[in-house]
Structure 1
Amino acid sequence: MRLKGTMVVELTDVNTSEVETVTEENMVTNAVNNILGLNPMGIFYKATGEYDDAIMWNGNLFPICPNMIGGILLFSKTLEENADNIYTLSDNLPVAYASNNVNSTANTARGSLNLTESKALENGYKFVWEFTPSQGNGTIAAVALTSAKGGENGYGSLVGDASTFLQIKAADIGDVPKANQMVLFETAEVDFENNLLYSITAEDSSVRIRKIRIPIFNIGLNEKLDDSTYTVLEDKVLTTQTFHFLGDYTLYGEFMDGKDGYWYGFSNEGNSSGSATMVWIKISKTDYSFTEGEWTLSNAKLMDVGNRDGSTTYPERVVKCCVRNGYLYVPAYNKKGIYRINLSNQADITLIEFGFTSKWKPLCDAGSCEVYMTLVGDLIVAGDFQITAADEVIHTQGSVRLNDAATPLFQYKHFLFGWGGSYGSEFRTTYLLTPYLASINNLSSAVIKTVDKTMKITYTLTEEA
């Protein structure tokens, strides 16, 4: 089956009634095929505990139109016309969008579906979206079909941000021994293609790295899909001189994947005044060689990077930092900004002001495990703010988006994975990142939507033999 899409954009001047019309055909990406054809970690099988929580496909994703394809994204820059291009980077986030219903919110970036004119066809679907003069304003150079959820708020807005993550499966791992759960909760990297994860922790004056096989795309004769049969392939202990987790009862520290051939460890205690002190370690992924040291960050007032505790009744990990493109991002103690610290030059430190005071809530419910920041593509996503690769701050609503979380999110194409739990309920949770590109439609010439124009987009998607 081959899909063909035709789009007509009509911009009508409310003062003169003059109509500007643009007609384009699109290319269809591999987005829908990936969702239907991939099954990493057996997420579509009922293979774990009795408290599994799996999505109901009918109504959420089926019929494909208007659910899995049920929204639209508008971009100010053109998109690479590649079938495997299913997400944009943070330098081209959608400027406008719409879902499969009427926008009843105050979000002016969002339009509405015309419920009368939109309908199923004998061989496809006809979508009609409308934007009032106050909605969807800006330069439009490209358009893409997306999921209904992805069209609600894109990557997040002040009106809502939970729609970006659609929970597909919460796999109950409560029967996994607590010590093994903590190993999973301390995951720093997942190598999906090679069925591997790397768990890293600090133990007194040493760092322990475990290379673990876990069934992702193939399964052994004696393996299960409930994380209970993972195999430790390597267990490496690095003896350190400077680096350790600071603190007494609460141990402060975090390990992050630099995505540059190294893992990084950091430890500091939050300081509301003076200068921050942080110990660090940089570990080679190839031979486990490392360098370590201590930074004194003049006049920097930081929150702690995170904390963890594997000795309590329930495994605990709290993540409050992020590493991106050679920089560590740590929130300011007063919740009014975030520090960007160069991993290779501690003197290169910048305070990025939010312009507001963050509510500083985790992406999940508060509990024994919490994640406050994670990386999605090259976009830092936190409770009520996002940081683009250009270090621009986007203020969002700050709603709960994730199940109980201990690890950052690990991405494979459409899917985001994380381990976590809270007070005796432990899960491996999988999400669908909803603002994907189901189609790509670059306009021959960009159009500009302004407050004196309405916009109507008619998108017809048909099946061809």
Structure 2
Amino acid sequence: MRLKGTMTMELMDVNTGEVETVVEENLVTNAVNHIFGLNPMGVFYEIGDSIDGIKWQSGLLPICPNAIGGILLFSKALEENVDNIYSLSDNLPVAYASNNVNSTANVARGSMNLTESKALDNGYKFVWEFTPSQGNGTIAAAALTSAQGGANAYGSQVNDSSTFLQLKSIKLDGLSMAKQLVLFEAVEVDFEKDLLYSITYQDTGVRIRKVRIPIFSIGLNEKLDDTTYTVLDDQVIQTSTFKFLGDYTLYGEFLDGGDGYWYGVSNEGNSSGNAAMVWVKIKKEDYTMTEGEWTLSNAKLMDVGNRDEGSSFPERVLKCCVRKGYLYVMAYNKKGIYKINLANSSDVTLIDFGFTSKWKPLCETGTCEVYMTLIGDLIVGGDFQVTVEDKVIPTQGSFRLNDAATPLFQYKNFLLGWGGSYGNEYRTMYLLTPYLASINNLSSAVVKTVDKTMKITYTLTEEAVP
């Protein structure tokens, strides 16, 4: 079967009654195929002591109006490619709608017309409506998405909990704390090669472990509950300057730079004066490294995070993020975020929030916490987002993750992470919900204003392939 989509967009001027009509056909992407065709780490299977976050039959099926049940509207055109399943952060949705009526105060969100929307013999007819106050802005492209993705996209000041849909959590109670720590200190996951890289600082050096985990291939003696992962390589690189600073609490974090290097950073946080930070840069190819110490003039930083391998439970608190060669660290007063050039410590910028962050983690507080993570090129914090253009978007700050210690590692629609709190340890898989199930670029952009209502009729049908 082949899917065909046709969209009719009608903007009516409430003062004159004049109607502007746009009709476009779409390209269907691989987003939904990935969800039902891929099975990373056996997310579709009952495994060990697993906790399902969603019932597939009711949450994602039938595909319409669930796995495809929302719409996203963009101010710029989208690349027309079947593998383009998420927009970049310089083109986040300006408006959206889900498979129900919007009863919230979110003015970016419209409502589904539940009377006119219906299943067809060979597909589905969606009808969404936006009042004069809803969905205003320039619209150059549209995309079908999941019902959850159409509720608040990547998050709003009304709600941001629907962005990450928990698919499954695997309890790790059967692993020793030493084995849990290897997973909790993960810095990178190579999904295609079934590999995880775990990095920490121990004694006088940086310890790097290369670990095989069954993601898409499973060995004759392997299970899918993390109890049979294999450490393939274990090396310690001695450092002279870099270490985890602190006495009782050891502050420091390792992050994937996405540029062929891993970066280690450590600071103790400072409410005044200059910020002292030590760093190490490790080349992935051969583990060669450079290290140094910075004094960041007049920078008042939160600590980048902390670790504790000697506690009764594995502890990792992640408070920083690396994107495109820059380290992002929260300002001590919680009113902004510092952007620090990892190649030039004199290049430091304070990005003002325009508000004071609650500075809460993406999960509940506990022995492990994650305060921000990188999704594509969007930094997602507790109650803020930072786009690739360093534009700050405030959000509500709902809890979105299960107990979390690691960044979220992304493979297509799926997000993977490990974490725990006080003896409850998990590996959790999420669905990143605001995906592009279709791409529909308008021939000419339209502008929705407070003087206009908007009605979108989107018909998606199945057709036999000749």
Tell me which residue corresponds to 1:74: 73
User: Aligned pair 1:249/2:248, yes or no?
Assistant: yes
Tell me which residue corresponds to 1:47: 47
Looking at structure 2, the residues matched to 66 and 392 of structure 1 have their Cα atoms a distance apart, in angstroms, of: 33
Q: Measure how far apart 1:456 and its partner are.
A: 0.2
Tell me which residue corresponds to 2:435: 436
Answer yes or no: is the 8 Å Cα contact 2:53–2:165 preserved in 1.
no
User: Aligned pair 1:106/2:105, yes or no?
Assistant: yes
Tell me which residue corresponds to 2:385: 386
Tell me which residue corresponds to 2:136: 137
Q: Measure how far apart 1:48 and its partner are.
A: 2.1
Q: What SS is found at the alignment partner of 2:192? A: helix
Looking at structure 1, the residues matched to 137 and 246 of structure 2 have their Cα atoms a distance apart, in angstroms, of: 50
Q: Which amino acid aligns with 1:226?
A: D
Q: Deviations over 1:254-312 (max 9, x none)?
A: 00000101000001001111111000000010111100010001110000000011111
Looking at structure 1, the residues matched to 135 and 52 of structure 2 have their Cα atoms a distance apart, in angstroms, of: 36
Q: Which amino acid aligns with 2:152?
A: N
Q: Deviations over 1:69-118 (max 9, x none)?
A: 00000001111111111001001000000000000011110000001111
Looking at structure 1, the residues matched to 341 and 358 of structure 2 have their Cα atoms a distance apart, in angstroms, of: 26
Q: How do 1:112-191 residues align onto structure 2 when only pairs under 5 Å count? A: 112-191=111-190
Q: How do 1:390-409 residues align onto structure 2 when only pairs under 5 Å count? A: 390-409=389-408
Q: Measure how far apart 1:46 and its partner are.
A: 1.1
Tell me which residue corresponds to 1:461: 460
Q: Measure how far apart 1:53 and its partner are.
A: 2.9
Looking at structure 1, the residues matched to 117 and 236 of structure 2 have their Cα atoms a distance apart, in angstroms, of: 61
User: Aligned pair 1:38/2:53, yes or no?
Assistant: no
User: Aligned pair 1:217/2:213, yes or no?
Assistant: no
- CA RMSD for the aligned pairs? 0.7
Looking at structure 2, the residues matched to 158 and 52 of structure 1 have their Cα atoms a distance apart, in angstroms, of: 29
Question: TM-score, length-normalised on structure 2?
Answer: 0.99
Looking at structure 2, the residues matched to 206 and 458 of structure 1 have their Cα atoms a distance apart, in angstroms, of: 60
Q: What SS is found at the alignment partner of 1:456? A: strand
Looking at structure 2, the residues matched to 323 and 113 of structure 1 have their Cα atoms a distance apart, in angstroms, of: 38
Tell me which residue corresponds to 2:365: 366
Tell me which residue corresponds to 1:336: 335
Q: Deviations over 1:385-417 (max 9, x none)?
A: 000001000000001000000000000000000
Q: Which amino acid aligns with 1:39?
A: N
Looking at structure 2, the residues matched to 410 and 171 of structure 1 have their Cα atoms a distance apart, in angstroms, of: 16
Looking at structure 1, the residues matched to 40 and 401 of structure 2 have their Cα atoms a distance apart, in angstroms, of: 19
User: Aligned pair 1:297/2:301, yes or no?
Assistant: no
Q: Deviations over 1:148-176 (max 9, x none)?
A: 00000111110011111100011111111
Answer yes or no: is the 8 Å Cα contact 1:204–1:245 preserved in 2.
no
Looking at structure 1, the residues matched to 349 and 442 of structure 2 have their Cα atoms a distance apart, in angstroms, of: 38
Answer yes or no: is the 8 Å Cα contact 2:265–2:278 preserved in 1.
yes
Q: Which amino acid aligns with 2:417?
A: G
Looking at structure 1, the residues matched to 141 and 442 of structure 2 have their Cα atoms a distance apart, in angstroms, of: 6
Q: Which amino acid aligns with 1:330?
A: V
Looking at structure 2, the residues matched to 47 and 107 of structure 1 have their Cα atoms a distance apart, in angstroms, of: 39
Looking at structure 2, the residues matched to 445 and 294 of structure 1 have their Cα atoms a distance apart, in angstroms, of: 52
Q: Note the residue ranges of structure 2 that are not aligned, 5 or more in a row.
A: none
Looking at structure 1, the residues matched to 96 and 52 of structure 2 have their Cα atoms a distance apart, in angstroms, of: 29
Q: What SS is found at the alignment partner of 1:366? A: coil
Tell me which residue corresponds to 1:93: 92
Tell me which residue corresponds to 1:2: 2
Q: Which amino acid aligns with 1:339?
A: Y
Aligned residue pairs total: 464
Q: Measure how far apart 1:54 and its partner are.
A: 4.3
Looking at structure 1, the residues matched to 461 and 189 of structure 2 have their Cα atoms a distance apart, in angstroms, of: 38
Q: Which amino acid aligns with 2:321?
A: C
Q: Note the residue ranges of structure 1 that are not aligned, 5 or more in a row.
A: none
Tell me which residue corresponds to 2:311: 312
Tell me which residue corresponds to 2:60: 61
